[in-house]
Amino acid sequence: MLTNKIIVAAIAACFALNTAQVLAADMLTKLGKGEGQVDIVAWPGYIERGETDPSFDWVTKFENSTGCKVNVKTANTSDEMVALMNEGGFDLVTASGDASLRLVAGKRVQPVNVNLVPSWNTVDKRLQNAPWHTVDGVHYGVPYMWGPNVLMYDTRAFKKAPESWSVVFEETMLDDGKSSMGRVQAYDGPIHVADAANYLMYHRKDLGIKNPYELNEDQYKVALDLLRQQRKLVSRYWHDAFIQMDDFKNEGVVASGSWPFQVNLLQADKHPVASTIPQEGATGWADTTMLHADASHPNCAYLWMEHTLSSNLQSDLSVWFGANPSVPAACTDGRGMQNAAGCSANGLDDFEKIRFWTTPVSKCKTQVSCVPYYRWVSDYIGVIGGR
Amino acid sequence: MNSPVGVISPGRQGILRRLADTLWRRPRLLLLLMLALPVSWLGVIYLGSLVALLVQSFFSIDEFSGLINYEFTLKTYRELLIPANLDIIVRTVSMAAVVTLAAVVVAFPIAYYAARYARGKWKAAFYIGVMLPLWSSYLVKIYAWKLVLAREGILNWLFDKLHLTWLLDAYLSLPLIGGNSLSVSYTGTFLVFLYVWLPFMILPLQASLERVPASLLEASADLGASAPQTFRHVVLPLSLPGVIAGSIFTFSLTLGDYIIPQIIGSSRLFIGQAVYTHQGTAGNIPLAAAFAVVPIVIMGVYLWMAKRAGAFDAL
């Protein structure tokens, strides 16, 4: 009898041990020693070590204090990031909302134990449980940066800031006496369908759009029709930030959805542009640092996640990229170069007006079923092709 | 040391010597050994990687997570044939055909002059003139063209100075080939393609025209043929291999290019861009591979037709 009990206890212990191991493999519960390096997939300009401009450096100090060498692979689009993560060999990715859920669905990223990130509590409350990185209450990452897709306009063609996105969707007579035909641009990515939906949400209440990323067939069709109408106004879609800036300078483009990044650079170049968030609100991006499912340097990765929230990174990156910190205190507490006025210029106060990029999925919350992302991809190629 | 010398010497001692003897006696083995490396390069690395790519086109992609589903399927090819993708194929093939025809028309007089009349330093000047654009960076040339064709660019300025802006505007208001400015129209894309690939047409054409004997042209004239008749019945047929060789270059290069239409044009995709978007950024390697099959099939059909037309008979 005694032996039996011992055996049962031993088996139970084994099971318990196994479960604990499974949990440990699922999510780190305790930080160990750094592994000496961390490999990150990031947007260009997101991780600076003072090589582009010596005053923008948020890597060197981290490397010196933790001994984790930071290796960065830049990617230009969300789709590229997903592709790189699918290939593997990376620990972290700064994924936008239109990539993050795809990574979770593809099991390319693992849950993050926020207890191991001491500065988690300083993160903007509105971002802590954001749906683009929190699935069924499980956090799959730590918020990094966010920003709006602003309407950039040429101040010679607009006497005052345009009040509506209609300038890029409908032919308008501009203040310089010429039509907007051929002088506006739009983003060359399927996620732009959401900008059309956002516009319709305000102007066509009868369609009942609740969320520009959750469209049923009828709403989607109207959005595509709006984009087909836009195709007539647009001579070239923008894909590369620098080509867009060239088009504003040499191609007579006067209005387009854009990022604060281009606005800041063009203004620095004394080109007469300004930006605004019109009455309909705007779409925007909110990026999350996510941990690869098979990360080979998890300890360094956790240390980096903490570093992104607690160091000068949030503040200085906000200045560098024209984005907003996920830790609101970074705007004011002087940990870096950013100040309250700078954050306001980047759109910090417009948080409520912004509908952040999320991957459209068939099983959506506000409708019975929605048009999924892959349809957005092929249909948007068709719209640009004139179909 | 005074061994008798026979008709066939006995084998020598030592590994290297034996090896040398064996190779000398079996030239085929020597040939095989020497060719093994380059042939395996061609077979394994060159064709093998191509086959690996093409095999991908029979897989499919999970539409949401973007992971590739490694099971044989024709789903990707069905996807290739949806109207939006067919548009891309038709657009690219038409552009390649027009660029090729225009390249023949522009290159012929240049090549003819170089082959028949240019001598000495003019010949050198011809070669430098044709080759010079090939020596500078491809990207620099395209960005330069973007500035030439832009709305605030050099061409517009020139038309303005000549008081011909109305002419340019009238041209740009034409459907299909027009647009808001030259740099965002098909015309712009066409001009840049023509400029960038022209040397690839001129050089083979010039080589084939040089091989046309002058005596044949004189004979044709002696028999009373007019210049156009001589051109049609003598020069053109004899230079056809050069035209075909050049057109293979211009046609296939246009089919595959993805940088020119991205920088100059109206954002409508070409095959090369579709491959780039699907493979490089969307991670949809199956569809990218299926798109990559299209130019291969088209070039196959093209070469077959060229052969039927007798283009290779003179080779």
Q: What is the ipTM, given to two decimal places? A: 0.73
Q: Please report the residues numbered 130 through 169 in chain B whose beta carbons come closer than 8 angstroms to any beta carbon of chain A.
A: 146-147, 150-153
Contact B64 A377 (CB under 8 A): no
Contact B181 A182 (CB under 8 A): yes
The tokens for A47 are 């991780």
| Range list of β-strands (E), chain A | 37-42, 69-74, 92-95, 109-110, 134-135, 138-139, 142-148, 150-154, 184-185, 255-258, 273-276, 282-292, 324-325, 354-356
Q: Which of A1 and B303 is assigned the larger pLDDT?
A: B303
Residues 6+ apart with CB under 8 A from A332: A339, A340
Across all residues in chain A, what is the average pLDDT? 88
State yes or no: pLDDT of A11 exceeds 60. Answer: no
Q: How many CB pairs under 8 A join A and B?
A: 108
pLDDT value at residue A162:
94
Among chain B residues, the shortest Cα distance to A100 is held by B65
Contact A386 B267 (CB under 8 A): no
pLDDT value at residue B277:
78
Contact B82 A379 (CB under 8 A): no
pLDDT value at residue A10:
46
pLDDT value at residue B152:
86
Among chain B residues, the shortest Cα distance to A233 is held by B180
Global model pTM greater than 0.80? no
The pLDDT of A158-171, averaged and rounded, is 94
Instruction: Name which of B62, B67, B268 is nearest A384 (Cβ-Cβ).
Output: B268
Contact A83 B265 (CB under 8 A): no
Contact B183 A251 (CB under 8 A): yes
% of chain B residues with pLDDT over 70: 92
Residue A15 confidence class, pLDDT cut points 50, 70, 90: very low
CB < 8 Å to B59, chain A:
none
Residues 6+ apart with CB under 8 A from A231: A383, A384, A386
Strands A37-42 and A69-74: parallel
Preferred mutation among B65, B258, B262 to probe A, highest tally of A CBs within 10 A:
B65
Q: Does B177 touch chain A (CB under 8 A)?
A: no
Residue B46 confidence class, pLDDT cut points 50, 70, 90: confident
Contact B269 A359 (CB under 8 A): no
pLDDT value at residue A111:
94
DSSP character at residue A270:
T
State yes or no: pLDDT of A231 exceeds 90. Answer: yes
Q: Which of B312 and B46 is assigned the larger pLDDT?
A: B46
Contact B281 A250 (CB under 8 A): no
Q: Which of A202 and B63 is assigned the larger pLDDT?
A: A202
Contact B153 A250 (CB under 8 A): yes
Across all residues in chain B, what is the average pLDDT? 87
pLDDT value at residue B6:
52
State the smallest CA–CA distance between residue A82 and chain B in angstroms: 7
Among chain A residues, the shortest Cα distance to B285 is held by A83
Q: Which of A225 and B37 is assigned the larger pLDDT?
A: A225
Contact B150 A237 (CB under 8 A): no
Preferred mutation among B267, B268, B278, B285 to probe A, highest tally of A CBs within 10 A:
B267
Please enumerate, as own/partner, the contacts of B48-54 that have beta carbons within 8 Å and a separation of 24 or more.
B53/B289, B53/B292, B54/B289, B54/B292, B54/B293
State yes or no: pLDDT of B175 exceeds 60. Answer: yes
The tokens for A312 are 């000068």
State the smallest CA–CA distance between residue B82 and chain A in angstroms: 9
**CB-CB contact of A286 with A296 (8 Å):** no
Place of tokens 């808001």: B180
- Among A144, A194, A122, CA closest to A165: A194
Q: Tell me if residue B154 falls in helix, strand or coil.
A: helix
Maximum CA extent, chain B: 100
Q: Does A363 touch chain B (CB under 8 A)?
A: no
- Among A269, A241, A246, CA closest to A257: A241
User: In this structure, how many other beta carbons lie within 10 angstroms of the beta carbon of residue A296?
Assistant: 15
CB < 8 Å to B153, chain A:
250
Among chain B residues, the shortest Cα distance to A244 is held by B263
Distance CA B172, CA B159 (A): 13
Render pLDDT for B183-240 as a digit per residue (tens, 0 to 9): 899 999 999 999 999 999 999 999 999 989 989 999 999 999 999 999 999 999 889 8
Render pLDDT for A22-76 as a digit per residue (tens, 0 to 9): 344 467 888 888 899 999 999 888 899 988 888 899 999 999 999 999 999 988 7
pLDDT value at residue A23:
41
